[in-house]
Chain A
Amino acid sequence: MLLMAGTIPVRDLPFVLGPIELVEENVMVGGQCLDMNRGTASMISAACAICQEYGLKSAVGIVAGDIGASDGSAKIYDYLAGNLPQMDVQILTTHYIMPDIKRNKKVLEKIDSLEKRPVLIADAGGMYVAKAGGDAGRYDLFTPDLGELAFLADEKAVHPTYTRGFISHMEDDVPELISRAFKSKNVARTVFVKGKVDYICQDGKILETIDHPNIEALEAVGGTGDIITGIISGLIYAGKSHVDACRIAGMVNRTAGKLSRPTPATQVKEIIRCIPAALREVKDRLCRK
Protein backbone atom coordinates (compact mmCIF):
# COMPACT_ATOMS: atom_id res chain seq x y z
CA MET A 1 0.00 0.00 0.00
CA LEU A 2 1.08 3.57 -0.78
CA LEU A 3 -0.14 5.52 2.25
CA MET A 4 -0.22 9.31 2.01
CA ALA A 5 -0.76 11.28 5.22
CA GLY A 6 -1.43 14.95 5.79
CA THR A 7 -3.83 17.61 6.98
CA ILE A 8 -6.52 19.39 4.97
CA PRO A 9 -7.21 23.09 5.66
CA VAL A 10 -10.89 22.61 6.45
CA ARG A 11 -12.08 23.26 10.00
CA ASP A 12 -13.92 20.26 11.44
CA LEU A 13 -13.17 17.94 8.52
CA PRO A 14 -13.26 14.52 10.22
CA PHE A 15 -10.41 12.04 10.22
CA VAL A 16 -10.69 10.04 6.99
CA LEU A 17 -8.83 6.96 5.81
CA GLY A 18 -9.54 5.49 2.40
CA PRO A 19 -8.63 5.06 -1.25
CA ILE A 20 -7.69 8.12 -3.30
CA GLU A 21 -9.58 8.83 -6.53
CA LEU A 22 -9.52 11.74 -8.94
CA VAL A 23 -12.96 13.07 -9.82
CA GLU A 24 -12.98 15.97 -12.30
CA GLU A 25 -11.77 19.08 -10.40
CA ASN A 26 -11.46 17.32 -7.06
CA VAL A 27 -9.85 14.42 -5.28
CA MET A 28 -11.75 11.94 -3.13
CA VAL A 29 -10.31 10.23 -0.05
CA GLY A 30 -12.52 7.52 1.38
CA GLY A 31 -15.53 9.18 -0.24
CA GLN A 32 -14.67 12.62 1.18
CA CYS A 33 -14.38 15.24 -1.59
CA LEU A 34 -11.35 17.56 -1.30
CA ASP A 35 -10.25 20.57 -3.37
CA MET A 36 -7.04 19.49 -5.12
CA ASN A 37 -5.73 23.04 -5.29
CA ARG A 38 -3.87 23.15 -1.99
CA GLY A 39 -1.28 21.29 0.07
CA THR A 40 -1.81 17.64 0.90
CA ALA A 41 -4.70 17.36 -1.58
CA SER A 42 -2.40 18.53 -4.42
CA MET A 43 0.24 16.01 -3.39
CA ILE A 44 -2.16 13.05 -3.27
CA SER A 45 -3.82 14.12 -6.54
CA ALA A 46 -0.45 14.02 -8.30
CA ALA A 47 0.29 10.57 -6.85
CA CYS A 48 -3.15 9.37 -7.91
CA ALA A 49 -2.56 10.58 -11.49
CA ILE A 50 0.67 8.55 -11.60
CA CYS A 51 -1.02 5.44 -10.14
CA GLN A 52 -3.75 5.68 -12.79
CA GLU A 53 -1.20 5.98 -15.62
CA TYR A 54 0.64 2.88 -14.40
CA GLY A 55 -2.61 0.97 -13.71
CA LEU A 56 -1.76 0.55 -10.04
CA LYS A 57 -4.07 -0.13 -7.14
CA SER A 58 -5.26 3.18 -5.65
CA ALA A 59 -3.05 4.84 -3.09
CA VAL A 60 -4.63 5.28 0.34
CA GLY A 61 -5.04 8.67 1.97
CA ILE A 62 -5.09 9.45 5.68
CA VAL A 63 -6.28 13.01 6.19
CA ALA A 64 -7.91 15.19 8.84
CA GLY A 65 -9.00 18.82 9.03
CA ASP A 66 -6.47 21.19 10.62
CA ILE A 67 -6.12 24.93 10.10
CA GLY A 68 -3.17 25.26 12.46
CA ALA A 69 -4.59 24.20 15.82
CA SER A 70 -2.88 20.77 15.62
CA ASP A 71 -6.13 18.85 16.17
CA GLY A 72 -6.14 17.02 12.83
CA SER A 73 -2.36 16.53 12.95
CA ALA A 74 -2.62 14.80 16.33
CA LYS A 75 -5.28 12.41 14.97
CA ILE A 76 -3.01 11.43 12.07
CA TYR A 77 0.09 10.86 14.24
CA ASP A 78 -1.91 8.89 16.79
CA TYR A 79 -3.60 6.72 14.17
CA LEU A 80 -0.27 5.89 12.53
CA ALA A 81 1.37 5.11 15.87
CA GLY A 82 -1.51 2.82 16.80
CA ASN A 83 -2.30 1.07 13.54
CA LEU A 84 0.71 0.77 11.24
CA PRO A 85 1.36 -2.92 12.03
CA GLN A 86 -2.09 -3.86 10.66
CA MET A 87 -1.79 -1.82 7.46
CA ASP A 88 0.83 -3.48 5.22
CA VAL A 89 2.33 -0.16 4.15
CA GLN A 90 5.04 -0.30 1.48
CA ILE A 91 5.50 3.47 1.19
CA LEU A 92 4.51 6.15 3.68
CA THR A 93 4.54 9.79 2.55
CA THR A 94 3.98 12.47 5.19
CA HIS A 95 3.15 16.00 4.18
CA TYR A 96 1.40 19.09 5.66
CA ILE A 97 1.24 18.32 9.36
CA MET A 98 2.00 20.24 12.54
CA PRO A 99 5.54 19.37 13.61
CA ASP A 100 5.16 17.42 16.85
CA ILE A 101 8.45 15.78 17.73
CA LYS A 102 7.12 13.47 20.47
CA ARG A 103 4.21 12.16 18.41
CA ASN A 104 6.40 11.66 15.36
CA LYS A 105 8.91 9.69 17.40
CA LYS A 106 6.10 7.35 18.48
CA VAL A 107 5.25 6.76 14.82
CA LEU A 108 8.92 6.08 14.03
CA GLU A 109 9.21 3.67 16.97
CA LYS A 110 6.26 1.74 15.57
CA ILE A 111 7.87 1.68 12.13
CA ASP A 112 11.09 0.34 13.64
CA SER A 113 9.11 -2.53 15.14
CA LEU A 114 7.66 -3.63 11.79
CA GLU A 115 8.97 -6.77 10.16
CA LYS A 116 9.20 -5.01 6.81
CA ARG A 117 10.06 -1.34 7.01
CA PRO A 118 8.15 0.92 4.57
CA VAL A 119 9.90 3.49 2.39
CA LEU A 120 9.57 6.79 4.24
CA ILE A 121 9.12 9.95 2.17
CA ALA A 122 8.65 13.34 3.81
CA ASP A 123 7.98 16.86 2.66
CA ALA A 124 6.59 19.98 4.33
CA GLY A 125 5.75 19.52 8.04
CA GLY A 126 6.56 15.82 7.78
CA MET A 127 10.12 16.78 6.84
CA TYR A 128 10.37 19.62 9.40
CA VAL A 129 9.47 17.34 12.29
CA ALA A 130 11.90 14.66 11.12
CA LYS A 131 14.77 17.15 11.11
CA ALA A 132 13.73 18.99 14.29
CA GLY A 133 13.56 15.72 16.18
CA GLY A 134 16.99 14.56 14.94
CA ASP A 135 15.31 11.73 13.02
CA ALA A 136 16.09 12.69 9.41
CA GLY A 137 18.44 9.72 8.98
CA ARG A 138 15.53 7.33 9.52
CA TYR A 139 13.85 8.56 6.33
CA ASP A 140 14.48 7.45 2.75
CA LEU A 141 13.61 10.55 0.77
CA PHE A 142 13.14 14.28 1.37
CA THR A 143 11.92 16.85 -1.15
CA PRO A 144 13.01 20.31 0.12
CA ASP A 145 12.94 23.57 -1.80
CA LEU A 146 15.89 25.95 -1.44
CA GLY A 147 14.61 27.63 1.75
CA GLU A 148 14.00 24.23 3.29
CA LEU A 149 17.42 22.99 2.17
CA ALA A 150 18.99 25.91 4.06
CA PHE A 151 16.99 24.80 7.12
CA LEU A 152 18.30 21.23 6.73
CA ALA A 153 21.82 22.62 6.40
CA ASP A 154 21.53 24.62 9.64
CA GLU A 155 22.14 22.16 12.46
CA LYS A 156 20.69 24.61 15.01
CA ALA A 157 17.39 25.47 13.32
CA VAL A 158 14.30 23.56 14.43
CA HIS A 159 12.07 25.11 11.74
CA PRO A 160 12.84 26.93 8.44
CA THR A 161 11.83 30.23 10.05
CA TYR A 162 14.83 29.91 12.41
CA THR A 163 17.42 29.33 9.68
CA ARG A 164 20.36 31.56 10.51
CA GLY A 165 21.07 34.44 8.13
CA PHE A 166 24.56 33.36 7.12
CA ILE A 167 23.18 30.02 5.94
CA SER A 168 20.25 31.59 4.11
CA HIS A 169 22.77 33.75 2.27
CA MET A 170 24.38 30.58 0.93
CA GLU A 171 21.39 29.77 -1.29
CA ASP A 172 23.35 30.74 -4.40
CA ASP A 173 25.70 27.87 -3.59
CA VAL A 174 23.32 24.90 -3.56
CA PRO A 175 26.08 22.23 -3.62
CA GLU A 176 27.54 23.75 -0.43
CA LEU A 177 24.15 23.68 1.28
CA ILE A 178 23.66 20.07 0.20
CA SER A 179 27.11 19.20 1.55
CA ARG A 180 26.37 20.91 4.90
CA ALA A 181 23.02 19.15 5.23
CA PHE A 182 24.49 15.71 4.58
CA LYS A 183 27.52 16.32 6.84
CA SER A 184 25.26 17.30 9.73
CA LYS A 185 23.12 14.18 9.08
CA ASN A 186 19.97 16.25 8.81
CA VAL A 187 18.67 14.70 5.61
CA ALA A 188 17.21 11.48 4.33
CA ARG A 189 19.37 9.13 2.27
CA THR A 190 17.98 10.52 -1.01
CA VAL A 191 17.13 14.18 -1.47
CA PHE A 192 15.36 15.94 -4.33
CA VAL A 193 16.04 19.68 -4.09
CA LYS A 194 13.34 21.65 -5.89
CA GLY A 195 14.40 24.91 -7.52
CA LYS A 196 15.38 26.72 -10.70
CA VAL A 197 17.74 23.79 -11.05
CA ASP A 198 16.57 20.55 -9.40
CA TYR A 199 19.27 18.50 -7.64
CA ILE A 200 19.03 14.75 -7.10
CA CYS A 201 21.35 13.65 -4.30
CA GLN A 202 22.05 10.38 -2.55
CA ASP A 203 24.44 9.55 0.29
CA GLY A 204 25.90 13.05 0.18
CA LYS A 205 26.61 13.12 -3.54
CA ILE A 206 24.88 15.14 -6.23
CA LEU A 207 23.99 12.56 -8.86
CA GLU A 208 22.07 14.66 -11.36
CA THR A 209 20.63 18.08 -12.03
CA ILE A 210 17.52 18.94 -14.04
CA ASP A 211 17.09 22.43 -15.46
CA HIS A 212 14.94 22.04 -18.54
CA PRO A 213 12.38 23.29 -19.41
CA ASN A 214 12.99 26.29 -17.16
CA ILE A 215 9.73 28.14 -16.47
CA GLU A 216 10.32 30.96 -14.02
CA ALA A 217 6.63 31.57 -13.29
CA LEU A 218 6.37 28.18 -11.57
CA GLU A 219 8.36 29.45 -8.57
CA ALA A 220 5.38 31.58 -7.56
CA VAL A 221 2.74 28.88 -8.01
CA GLY A 222 1.73 27.35 -4.67
CA GLY A 223 1.69 23.56 -4.81
CA THR A 224 4.31 22.83 -7.48
CA GLY A 225 6.59 21.37 -4.81
CA ASP A 226 3.70 19.35 -3.40
CA ILE A 227 3.04 17.66 -6.71
CA ILE A 228 6.69 16.64 -7.10
CA THR A 229 6.44 14.77 -3.80
CA GLY A 230 3.26 13.06 -5.00
CA ILE A 231 4.77 12.10 -8.36
CA ILE A 232 7.89 10.66 -6.70
CA SER A 233 5.72 8.63 -4.30
CA GLY A 234 3.64 7.26 -7.18
CA LEU A 235 6.71 6.34 -9.22
CA ILE A 236 8.35 4.49 -6.32
CA TYR A 237 5.04 2.66 -5.82
CA ALA A 238 5.28 1.75 -9.53
CA GLY A 239 8.62 0.10 -8.83
CA LYS A 240 11.09 2.80 -9.84
CA SER A 241 14.30 3.20 -7.85
CA HIS A 242 14.42 6.29 -5.65
CA VAL A 243 16.84 8.06 -7.97
CA ASP A 244 14.89 7.13 -11.13
CA ALA A 245 11.68 8.29 -9.47
CA CYS A 246 13.29 11.65 -8.68
CA ARG A 247 14.64 12.00 -12.22
CA ILE A 248 11.30 11.21 -13.89
CA ALA A 249 9.35 13.34 -11.39
CA GLY A 250 11.57 16.36 -12.03
CA MET A 251 11.05 16.01 -15.77
CA VAL A 252 7.29 15.37 -15.47
CA ASN A 253 6.77 18.34 -13.16
CA ARG A 254 8.59 20.73 -15.48
CA THR A 255 6.82 19.32 -18.55
CA ALA A 256 3.39 19.54 -16.88
CA GLY A 257 4.26 23.12 -15.95
CA LYS A 258 5.15 23.91 -19.55
CA LEU A 259 1.95 22.28 -20.87
CA SER A 260 -0.17 24.40 -18.52
CA ARG A 261 1.33 27.63 -20.00
CA PRO A 262 1.66 29.16 -16.55
CA THR A 263 1.86 32.72 -15.27
CA PRO A 264 2.65 33.53 -11.62
CA ALA A 265 -1.15 33.57 -11.12
CA THR A 266 -1.69 29.99 -12.35
CA GLN A 267 -3.32 27.64 -9.83
CA VAL A 268 -1.71 24.25 -9.26
CA LYS A 269 -4.77 22.23 -10.30
CA GLU A 270 -4.13 23.46 -13.87
CA ILE A 271 -0.71 21.79 -13.68
CA ILE A 272 -2.01 18.60 -12.03
CA ARG A 273 -4.40 18.19 -14.97
CA CYS A 274 -1.36 18.06 -17.29
CA ILE A 275 0.50 15.32 -15.37
CA PRO A 276 -0.75 12.33 -17.42
CA ALA A 277 0.22 14.00 -20.73
CA ALA A 278 3.54 15.10 -19.24
CA LEU A 279 4.32 11.56 -18.03
CA ARG A 280 3.67 10.15 -21.51
CA GLU A 281 5.88 12.84 -23.07
CA VAL A 282 8.70 12.11 -20.63
CA LYS A 283 8.41 8.33 -21.16
CA ASP A 284 8.66 8.87 -24.94
CA ARG A 285 11.69 11.11 -24.44
CA LEU A 286 13.41 8.53 -22.22
CA CYS A 287 12.61 5.69 -24.69
CA ARG A 288 14.21 7.61 -27.54
CA LYS A 289 17.48 8.00 -25.60
Chain B
Amino acid sequence: MKWFGKKKKEDISPESETVTRGLLIFADTGTVMRAEQILKEENYDIKVVSPPARYRTGCDLCVEFPLVEEPGIIRILKKLRSAPIEVVPESSNRLRPQKLCTVKDFGEYIMVRAANMKITVDKTTKRIVNISGGGCPDVPYLAYEMVGKSVLKAPKPSAIGHTLCAYALNTAHEELIELLESK
Protein backbone atom coordinates (compact mmCIF):
# COMPACT_ATOMS: atom_id res chain seq x y z
CA MET B 1 0.00 0.00 0.00
CA LYS B 2 1.28 3.46 -0.88
CA TRP B 3 0.41 6.20 1.55
CA PHE B 4 1.19 9.33 -0.43
CA GLY B 5 2.05 8.04 -3.90
CA LYS B 6 5.67 9.15 -3.82
CA LYS B 7 7.51 8.00 -6.94
CA LYS B 8 10.46 5.63 -6.71
CA LYS B 9 13.72 7.54 -6.51
CA GLU B 10 16.22 7.39 -9.32
CA ASP B 11 19.69 6.15 -8.48
CA ILE B 12 21.86 9.23 -8.25
CA SER B 13 25.08 7.53 -7.10
CA PRO B 14 27.95 8.19 -6.62
CA GLU B 15 26.77 11.53 -5.19
CA SER B 16 24.13 9.78 -3.06
CA GLU B 17 26.83 7.91 -1.16
CA THR B 18 28.21 11.14 0.20
CA VAL B 19 24.87 12.42 1.52
CA THR B 20 24.95 12.82 5.29
CA ARG B 21 22.49 10.50 6.93
CA GLY B 22 20.57 10.83 10.15
CA LEU B 23 18.87 8.58 12.65
CA LEU B 24 15.21 8.62 13.61
CA ILE B 25 14.86 7.57 17.25
CA PHE B 26 11.48 6.16 18.30
CA ALA B 27 9.82 5.44 21.62
CA ASP B 28 9.57 1.71 20.97
CA THR B 29 10.42 -0.98 18.43
CA GLY B 30 6.79 -1.43 17.37
CA THR B 31 6.74 2.16 16.07
CA VAL B 32 10.06 1.57 14.26
CA MET B 33 8.53 -1.38 12.43
CA ARG B 34 5.51 0.70 11.37
CA ALA B 35 7.71 3.63 10.32
CA GLU B 36 9.93 1.32 8.27
CA GLN B 37 6.92 -0.05 6.42
CA ILE B 38 5.53 3.42 5.73
CA LEU B 39 8.83 4.88 4.52
CA LYS B 40 9.70 1.86 2.37
CA GLU B 41 6.28 2.01 0.74
CA GLU B 42 7.00 5.69 0.03
CA ASN B 43 10.33 4.62 -1.54
CA TYR B 44 12.58 6.50 0.86
CA ASP B 45 16.14 5.21 0.97
CA ILE B 46 16.13 4.05 4.57
CA LYS B 47 17.75 1.31 6.63
CA VAL B 48 16.77 -0.10 9.98
CA VAL B 49 19.88 -0.11 12.20
CA SER B 50 20.99 -0.29 15.82
CA PRO B 51 20.62 2.96 17.79
CA PRO B 52 23.52 4.91 19.33
CA ALA B 53 24.65 3.65 22.75
CA ARG B 54 22.96 6.48 24.66
CA TYR B 55 19.52 5.32 23.43
CA ARG B 56 20.17 1.61 23.89
CA THR B 57 18.08 -0.55 26.22
CA GLY B 58 18.88 -3.98 24.80
CA CYS B 59 15.95 -4.40 22.42
CA ASP B 60 15.79 -1.50 20.06
CA LEU B 61 16.02 -0.31 16.48
CA CYS B 62 16.18 3.05 14.77
CA VAL B 63 15.86 4.24 11.18
CA GLU B 64 18.79 5.64 9.21
CA PHE B 65 17.68 8.08 6.49
CA PRO B 66 19.08 10.76 4.15
CA LEU B 67 19.11 13.96 6.19
CA VAL B 68 18.06 16.04 3.21
CA GLU B 69 14.72 14.23 3.22
CA GLU B 70 14.00 14.96 6.88
CA PRO B 71 11.06 17.39 6.42
CA GLY B 72 9.12 15.05 4.12
CA ILE B 73 9.78 12.01 6.26
CA ILE B 74 8.75 13.72 9.49
CA ARG B 75 5.59 15.11 7.88
CA ILE B 76 4.48 11.66 6.71
CA LEU B 77 5.29 9.96 10.00
CA LYS B 78 3.46 12.63 12.00
CA LYS B 79 0.37 12.28 9.83
CA LEU B 80 0.39 8.54 10.43
CA ARG B 81 0.99 8.89 14.16
CA SER B 82 4.40 7.25 13.96
CA ALA B 83 6.62 10.26 14.60
CA PRO B 84 10.10 9.80 16.08
CA ILE B 85 10.92 11.19 19.50
CA GLU B 86 14.22 12.56 18.24
CA VAL B 87 16.20 13.09 15.04
CA VAL B 88 19.97 12.68 15.31
CA PRO B 89 22.28 13.76 12.50
CA GLU B 90 24.78 10.94 12.41
CA SER B 91 26.40 8.99 9.59
CA SER B 92 27.72 5.58 10.42
CA ASN B 93 28.03 1.95 9.53
CA ARG B 94 25.70 0.70 12.21
CA LEU B 95 24.76 -2.92 12.75
CA ARG B 96 21.73 -3.97 10.75
CA PRO B 97 19.12 -6.59 11.69
CA GLN B 98 19.78 -9.93 10.13
CA LYS B 99 17.66 -10.73 7.07
CA LEU B 100 19.21 -14.13 6.39
CA CYS B 101 16.66 -16.97 6.48
CA THR B 102 17.18 -20.72 6.60
CA VAL B 103 14.55 -23.23 5.54
CA LYS B 104 13.96 -26.75 6.86
CA ASP B 105 11.60 -29.13 5.08
CA PHE B 106 9.94 -31.71 7.34
CA GLY B 107 7.90 -33.23 4.50
CA GLU B 108 4.37 -32.37 5.58
CA TYR B 109 5.60 -29.18 7.27
CA ILE B 110 8.09 -26.45 6.42
CA MET B 111 9.99 -24.26 8.89
CA VAL B 112 11.68 -20.90 8.20
CA ARG B 113 14.13 -19.38 10.63
CA ALA B 114 15.40 -15.79 10.80
CA ALA B 115 17.93 -14.94 13.52
CA ASN B 116 16.50 -16.48 16.71
CA MET B 117 12.91 -16.95 15.45
CA LYS B 118 11.29 -19.93 13.72
CA ILE B 119 7.86 -20.33 12.14
CA THR B 120 6.46 -23.66 10.92
CA VAL B 121 3.45 -24.29 8.67
CA ASP B 122 1.52 -27.27 7.39
CA LYS B 123 2.28 -27.26 3.66
CA THR B 124 -1.16 -28.49 2.64
CA THR B 125 -3.41 -26.32 4.79
CA LYS B 126 -0.94 -23.35 5.05
CA ARG B 127 -1.84 -23.27 8.74
CA ILE B 128 0.82 -22.02 11.15
CA VAL B 129 1.47 -24.92 13.55
CA ASN B 130 4.31 -23.56 15.68
CA ILE B 131 6.34 -20.47 16.45
CA SER B 132 9.50 -21.00 18.39
CA GLY B 133 12.62 -19.21 19.64
CA GLY B 134 12.98 -15.63 20.81
CA GLY B 135 13.12 -14.09 24.24
CA CYS B 136 11.19 -10.83 24.24
CA PRO B 137 7.74 -10.69 25.90
CA ASP B 138 5.75 -10.41 22.70
CA VAL B 139 7.00 -13.75 21.30
CA PRO B 140 4.49 -15.89 23.24
CA TYR B 141 1.82 -13.26 22.46
CA LEU B 142 2.58 -13.49 18.73
CA ALA B 143 2.35 -17.28 19.00
CA TYR B 144 -1.12 -16.98 20.57
CA GLU B 145 -2.25 -14.63 17.82
CA MET B 146 -0.76 -16.54 14.87
CA VAL B 147 -0.61 -20.29 15.61
CA GLY B 148 -3.61 -22.18 14.21
CA LYS B 149 -4.32 -19.52 11.56
CA SER B 150 -3.53 -19.53 7.85
CA VAL B 151 -0.13 -17.97 7.21
CA LEU B 152 -1.80 -15.72 4.65
CA LYS B 153 -4.50 -14.49 7.03
CA ALA B 154 -2.69 -14.39 10.38
CA PRO B 155 -1.73 -10.92 11.65
CA LYS B 156 1.75 -9.82 10.59
CA PRO B 157 4.33 -9.65 13.39
CA SER B 158 5.20 -6.14 12.17
CA ALA B 159 1.60 -5.07 12.79
CA ILE B 160 1.12 -6.45 16.30
CA GLY B 161 4.67 -7.00 17.59
CA HIS B 162 6.82 -4.58 19.54
CA THR B 163 10.35 -5.99 19.72
CA LEU B 164 13.39 -7.14 17.78
CA CYS B 165 12.18 -10.73 18.12
CA ALA B 166 8.96 -9.65 16.38
CA TYR B 167 11.11 -8.01 13.70
CA ALA B 168 12.99 -11.29 13.15
CA LEU B 169 9.74 -13.26 13.10
CA ASN B 170 8.37 -10.83 10.52
CA THR B 171 11.40 -11.53 8.32
CA ALA B 172 10.78 -15.30 8.60
CA HIS B 173 7.04 -14.81 8.02
CA GLU B 174 7.64 -12.80 4.81
CA GLU B 175 10.13 -15.39 3.55
CA LEU B 176 7.64 -18.20 4.29
CA ILE B 177 4.85 -16.49 2.34
CA GLU B 178 7.20 -15.92 -0.60
CA LEU B 179 8.24 -19.56 -0.48
CA LEU B 180 4.67 -20.86 -0.40
CA GLU B 181 3.56 -18.53 -3.18
CA SER B 182 6.47 -19.57 -5.41
CA LYS B 183 5.43 -23.24 -5.25
If A127-B135, A220-B130 touch, whether A101 touches B57 (CB-CB below 8 Å) is yes
- Bound form: Cα–Cα A29–B13 in Å: 59
If A9-B141, A132-B58, A265-B122 touch, whether A168 touches B168 (CB-CB below 8 Å) is no
Residue of A nearest to B97 (CB): A161
Quote the shortest CB–CB distance from B141 to chain A (angstroms).
4
A67 touches B133 (CB 8 A): no
B57 touches A68 (CB 8 A): no
Q: Which of A133, A147, A162 contacts B113 (CB 8 A)?
A: A147
Interface residues of B in 95-147 (CB under 8 A from A): 95-98, 100, 104, 106, 108-109, 111, 113, 115-118, 120, 122, 129-141, 143-144, 147
Residues of A within 8 A of B133 (CB): 145, 147, 222, 225
- Bound form: Cα–Cα A72–B136 in Å: 12
If A7-B137, A73-B137, A100-B58 touch, whether A67 touches B162 (CB-CB below 8 Å) is yes
Interface residues of B in 138-183 (CB under 8 A from A): 138-141, 143-144, 147, 161-168
Residues of A within 8 A of B30 (CB): 68
Residues of A within 8 A of B82 (CB): none
Q: Mark A94-106, 1 if CB is under 8 A from B, else 0.
A: 0111111110100
Quote the shortest CB–CB distance from A16 to chain B (angstroms).
15
If A102-B57, A223-B132 touch, whether A264 touches B137 (CB-CB below 8 Å) is no
Q: Which of A97, A126, A147 contacts B115 (CB 8 A)?
A: A147
Whether, in the assembled complex, A156 has its beta carbon less than 8 Å from a beta carbon of chain B, the answer is yes
- Bound form: Cα–Cα A222–B59 in Å: 21
B135 touches A217 (CB 8 A): no
- Bound form: Cα–Cα A216–B178 in Å: 24
A125 touches B136 (CB 8 A): yes
- Bound form: Cα–Cα A41–B98 in Å: 29
A69 touches B162 (CB 8 A): yes
Residues of B within 8 A of A95 (CB): 135
- Bound form: Cα–Cα A216–B108 in Å: 13
Residue contacts A-B, CB under 8 angstroms, 8 given: A38-B143, A69-B162, A128-B59, A160-B164, A161-B98, A164-B98, A225-B133, A264-B111
Q: Mark A20-61, 1 if CB is under 8 A from B, else 0.
A: 000000000000000000111100000000000000000000
Count of chain B residues near A, Cβ 8 A: 48
Residue of A nearest to B161 (CB): A68
A157 touches B162 (CB 8 A): no
Q: A68-B138, A145-B116, A158-B95 are in contact. List 7 more A-B contacts (CB 8 A).
A: A95-B135, A158-B58, A160-B135, A160-B168, A162-B98, A219-B132, A221-B132
B120 touches A125 (CB 8 A): no
If A99-B59, A128-B135 touch, whether A157 touches B95 (CB-CB below 8 Å) is yes
Residues of B within 8 A of A222 (CB): 118, 130-133, 143, 147
Whether, in the assembled complex, B56 has its beta carbon less than 8 Å from a beta carbon of chain A, the answer is yes
Residues of B within 8 A of A70 (CB): 28, 137
Quote the shortest CB–CB distance from B60 to chain A (angstroms).
8
Residues of A within 8 A of B97 (CB): 161-162
B57 touches A99 (CB 8 A): yes
- Bound form: Cα–Cα A247–B34 in Å: 44
B138 touches A9 (CB 8 A): yes
Residue of A nearest to B147 (CB): A222
Quote the shortest CB–CB distance from B100 to chain A (angstroms).
6
Residues of A within 8 A of B108 (CB): 263-264
B140 touches A38 (CB 8 A): yes
A98 touches B59 (CB 8 A): yes
Q: Mark B29-65, 1 if CB is under 8 A from A, else 0.
A: 0100000000000000000001000001111000000
Residues of B within 8 A of A217 (CB): 106
